Amino acid sequence: MVVGFHLIVDFHTVSTSILMTVRPMRKILEEGVRRGNLTKISSSYHQFQPYGVSGIILLAESHLSVHTFPESGLVTMDVYSCGEDAEERVKNTVNYILGEMGGVVSLWKEVERG
Amino acid sequence: MVVGFHLIVDFHTVSTSILMTVRPMRKILEEGVRRGNLTKISSSYHQFQPYGVSGIILLAESHLSVHTFPESGLVTMDVYSCGEDAEERVKNTVNYILGEMGGVVSLWKEVERG
């Protein structure tokens, strides 16, 4: 029984300054959740020293996670949604984030969960 | 450049009562993090009505997520660690949780991130 759609994406960006601190990342991720018509329950961010961000958003539909590696311009992200239109909602979120960050994808893995 | 190891696991259990509320799930998951020698930064849980739990633990090494579906005994889980011994730490965490919950695995997907 398939319960949801999970998309795992790694990408690189030349906009490494975005990846360094929580504030710009939070703005893009939370807008991505809205663009995908997903429902935020809570979110948690961590600032690594000297730079780097982890962010997790707990969704009514499942979750979104991002971990940044500014030293190499790398972002590892995953977005997982259960419920109706899961694939469309996940892809709308991921594509918005990729567009905002100028991401060049190195890994794109789609997993049906359940 | 590989930065981490991400394990995506779906499993079923007959111990469906464990899946219904936050308290027993939190205990198993947070002990699993300790058994894997992973480092919790923060955690967030959500109680669905009438039953079902989502839990996310933000780790210094990346994250752990679990979503339960008590109506079918299904749990969808993923554990992702960067840093040294990532694969061993992730597998120790996952295997502890599977053991505690009597999980029968239906999906086991290992992804090298980065």
Strands (E), A48-89: 53-59, 62-69, 74-82
Coil, strand or helix at B94:
helix
A46 phi-psi bin (left φ>0, alpha ψ -120 to 50, beta other): beta
Amino acid in position A2: V
Domain assignment of residue A114, yes or no: no
Q: Which residues pair with B109 in a beta bridge?
A: B8
Q: Closest Cα of chain B to A86: distance in Å?
A: 15
Catalytic machinery residues of B = 62, 67, 82
Domain assignment of residue A83, yes or no: yes
Q: In this complex, is the C-beta atom of B23 within 8 Å of any C-beta atom belonging to chain A? A: no
Say what the ipTM of the complex is: 0.95
A48: nearest CA partner in chain B = B60
Tally the domains of chain A.
1
- Tokens 């955690």 — which residue? B43
Residue-level pLDDT at B1: 81
Domain assignment of residue A8, yes or no: yes
Taking only the tens place, the pLDDT of each residue in B30-57 is: 999 999 999 999 999 999 999 999 999 9
* Mean local confidence (pLDDT), B62-87: 97
Count of Cβ atoms closer than 10 Å to residue A70 Cβ? 20
Which residue range is the domain that position B97 belongs to? Answer: 4-113
Taking only the tens place, the pLDDT of each residue in B75-100 is: 999 999 999 999 999 999 999 999 99
CATH number, domain with residue A40 = 3.60.90.10
Residue among B111, B74, B97, B82 nearest A48 (CA): B82
Checking if the pLDDT of A1 tops 90, the result is no
Residue among B55, B49, B50 nearest B24 (CA): B55
Is there a contact between B105 and B11 (Cβ–Cβ < 8 Å)?
Answer: yes
d(CA B80, CA B59): 9
